[in-house]
Amino acid sequence: MKLSIVGAGYVGLTTAACLAEIGHQVYCSDSDQAKLGLLQQGQIPFFEPHLAQLVARNCQSGRLEFGATETGIERSEAIFICVGTPPLSNGEADLSAIQTVAREIAARARGYRLIVEKSTVPVQTARQIKRELALYGSQQLDYEVASNPEFLREGSALEDFFHPDRIVVGVESRRAEDQFREVYRPVLEQTFACPVHENCISRTRPAFLVTDTNSSEIIKHASNSFLAMKISYINMVADLCEASGADVEKVAEGIGLDRRIGRAFLRPGIGFGGFCFPKDLQAFVRIAEKAGCDFSLLKEVEKVNLARIAKFVDKVRQEVWVLRGKKLALWGLAFKPNTDDIRFAPSLAVIQQLLAEGADLQVYDPEAMPNARRQIAGVKFSEDPYEAARGAEAVLILTEWDQFRTLDWERLGSLLHRRLIIDGRNMLAPVKEQLAAQGFEYVEIGRVAHAAEPAAQSASRAAKKPGASDPVPIG
Ligand code: UDX
């Protein structure tokens, strides 16, 4: 099929490359001329595993092209709107880019077009797009506006595209439903050579859910908000575990084994970030408010998430005492591993708070350094995790990059002023005995040292730091 993708951000570019990979003729455009120029020269403006190879291969085969939005609109049977919907100051999504595209389609398209909203939009946006087309579209334009939310996670977006749990389409006609079945046929039937996993043979076929546009739009916001709620929930449970001497990882396992709950998204830490959860949560609260529903449950989810930063900095303070003038190593800036994205990353808030208290920060991230250099001032950027640790009183882990799991601990220890790791993601728990053997103190979220450690180890730790993280008696 001839498809056009408007917007070459994370969602648009990934969708464009993947749709080309499964056999469609894809034309991708962006209003940002500089970005378009980069793409036409074969450069990818952000890091996403496997994406650069996929874009290069499909450009070479001629199935993927980049150019002006008008051309895409004129050439394609279906137009996927993937432009940004950033938050306004009141938490609502800014839909101006969506409206601009709707008007461009109205001005350029002739004949039948399936117009697909893929950007995350509030419920009833399809209705608004239809109104624009009715007001400004030509007499020769015949169209259907449909919703097809994306559920791609940064860092594993390609995997999510090729092997999704479900594909949701909000349509008003059988014709549009059939068009979507045609677009996604190779994914629905799992009949393509998987570009992510070598020798990936057959996988479970994804569900294909057909619904109305309003429900489809709500599914996206409700999914993200639910996942955010799971994270805030486990973070509160982590605080309780920490205060009472329980082990949050065991608790998460225990509740996650219930199939009604599931194990995913129960990793405690310094909270969720990124360009989706924080903004989608706020937008959903606003959508509900406008509809007369007080979604106070989600306001609490956000409140709990914001409080993670102060809680973590407090932990640092408990360990190193006064922060002024203290050299600290910060590992991980991206909002999660396998991406260079630092938008709404918890690391930014942690850095802001530590700098405000006068700490001296040496930071490192495997992929996010270029973005971080543009946005963060007042810290020392390091070439690798070891350089960041030189002379520091503690290592603070803010993103669970794989690279941090297999370091030379002795070398690290020799560089540090004090062998202390405060792990905001509990990522080094599997090697904590190894760390203890090298003389490291290891501080986690939701688990006090002695809760899971052998008696001898916890005794040596207790001797070193009397009372700092002892559970409080309850009741
Ligand atoms: C999310 C949704 O998962 C995806 O379906 C949607 O399309 C876009 O938003 P993404 O923002 O890429 O994807 O990241 P995700 O993997 O969901 O993680 C979001 C944040 O939650 C990260 O900061 C991550 O560190 C945090 N998180 C996740 C936790 O703190 N604990 C967990 O158990 C899971």
CATH of the domain at 450: 3.40.50.720
pLDDT, residue 191, reads: 86
Residue 264 lies in a domain: yes
**Structural domain boundaries, residue 124:** 2-211
Based on the domain organization, do 285 and 343 belong to the same domain?
no
User: What torsion, rounded to 10 degrees, do the Cα atoms 26, 70, 134, 90 define?
Assistant: 80
Based on the domain organization, do 435 and 423 belong to the same domain?
yes
For the CA of 336, the nearest atom of ligand 1: 25
Task: Say how many Å lie between the CA of residue 11 and the centre of ligand 1.
Answer: 15
Q: Into how many domains does the chain fold?
A: 3
Based on the domain organization, do 301 and 316 belong to the same domain?
no
Ligand 1 pocket, Cβ-based, cut-off 6 angstroms: 150-154, 224, 227, 231, 265-267, 269, 272-274, 276-277, 335-336
- Contacting residues for 140 by C-beta, under 8 A, at least 6 apart: 110, 111
Residue 466 lies in a domain: no
CATH number at residue 260: 1.10.1040.10
Task: Say how many Å lie between the CA of residue 24 and the centre of ligand 1.
Answer: 29
Task: Say how many Å lie between the CA of residue 255 and the centre of ligand 1.
Answer: 20
Give kind and range of the element (H or E) at residue 423.
strand 420-423
Residue 473 lies in a domain: no
Give kind and range of the element (H or E) at residue 3.
strand 2-6
User: What torsion, rounded to 10 degrees, do the Cα atoms 442, 443, 449, 453 define?
Assistant: -40
Based on the domain organization, do 323 and 232 belong to the same domain?
no
Residue 13 lies in a domain: yes
Q: For 407, phi and psi rounded to 5 degrees?
A: -90, 170
Give kind and range of the element (H or E) at residue 244.
helix 213-244
Q: Hey, whose CA ends up nearest to atom 15 of ligand 1?
A: 153
- Contacting residues for 240 by C-beta, under 8 A, at least 6 apart: 246
For the CA of 157, the nearest atom of ligand 1: 12
pLDDT tens string, the chain, 475 residues long: the values are 999 999 999 999 999 999 999 999 999 999 999 999 999 999 999 999 999 999 999 999 999 999 999 999 999 999 999 999 999 999 899 999 999 999 999 999 999 999 999 999 999 999 999 999 999 998 899 999 999 999 999 999 999 999 999 999 999 999 999 999 999 999 999 888 888 877 676 678 999 999 999 999 999 999 999 999 999 999 999 999 999 999 999 999 999 999 999 999 999 999 999 999 999 999 999 999 999 999 999 999 999 999 999 999 999 999 999 999 999 999 999 999 999 999 999 999 999 999 999 999 999 999 999 999 999 999 999 999 999 999 999 999 999 999 999 999 999 999 999 999 999 999 999 999 999 999 999 999 999 864 344 444 444 444 444 444 555 565 4
Q: Hey, whose CA ends up nearest to atom 1 of ligand 1?
A: 153
| Boundary-marking domain end, from 306, 340, 364 | 306
Based on the domain organization, do 70 and 201 belong to the same domain?
yes
pLDDT, residue 2, reads: 97
d(CA 201, CA 199): 6
Residue 89 lies in a domain: yes
Task: Say how many Å lie between the CA of residue 283 and the centre of ligand 1.
Answer: 17
d(CA 405, CA 399): 11
Based on the domain organization, do 226 and 282 belong to the same domain?
yes
Residue 169 lies in a domain: yes
Q: For 376, phi and psi rounded to 5 degrees?
A: -110, 130
Based on the domain organization, do 205 and 166 belong to the same domain?
yes
| Boundary-marking domain end, from 306, 329, 356 | 306
Based on the domain organization, do 201 and 235 belong to the same domain?
no
Residue 16 is encoded by which pair of tokens?
Answer: 């464009």
For the CA of 345, the nearest atom of ligand 1: 23
Residue 472 lies in a domain: no
Task: Say how many Å lie between the CA of residue 75 and the centre of ligand 1.
Answer: 35
Residue 119 is encoded by which pair of tokens?
Answer: 């950007």
For the CA of 11, the nearest atom of ligand 1: 7
Based on the domain organization, do 191 and 230 belong to the same domain?
no
| Boundary-marking domain end, from 211, 239, 264 | 211
Residue 442, SS3 per DSSP? strand
Q: What is the pLDDT of residues 279-297, one digit of tens each?
A: 999 999 999 999 999 999 9
CB 130 within 8 A of CB 97: no
pLDDT, residue 204, reads: 84
Based on the domain organization, do 340 and 288 belong to the same domain?
no
DSSP codes, 96-160: HHHHHHHHHHHHH--EEEEEEE-S---TTHHHHHHHHHHHHS-TTEEEEEEE----PPTTSHHHH
For the CA of 275, the nearest atom of ligand 1: 11
Test site for ligand 1: of 309, 336, 400, most ligand atoms within 8 A of the Cβ: 336
Q: Hey, whose CA ends up nearest to atom 34 of ligand 1?
A: 265
Beta pairing, strands 380-381 & 360-364: parallel
Based on the domain organization, do 339 and 239 belong to the same domain?
no
**The one catalytic residue among 18, 82, 276, 293:** 276
Sheet holding 2-6, edge to edge: 64-67, 25-29, 2-6, 78-81, 111-117, 141-147, 166-170, 207-211
Task: Say how many Å lie between the CA of residue 231 and the centre of ligand 1.
Answer: 9
Beta pairing, strands 380-381 & 394-397: unpaired
pTM over 0.85: yes
Based on the domain organization, do 302 and 244 belong to the same domain?
yes
Catalytic annotation present for 276: yes
Test site for ligand 1: of 220, 335, 399, 423, most ligand atoms within 8 A of the Cβ: 335
Test site for ligand 1: of 118, 153, 166, 341, most ligand atoms within 8 A of the Cβ: 153
Residue 411 lies in a domain: yes
Residue 475 is encoded by which pair of tokens?
Answer: 């009741």
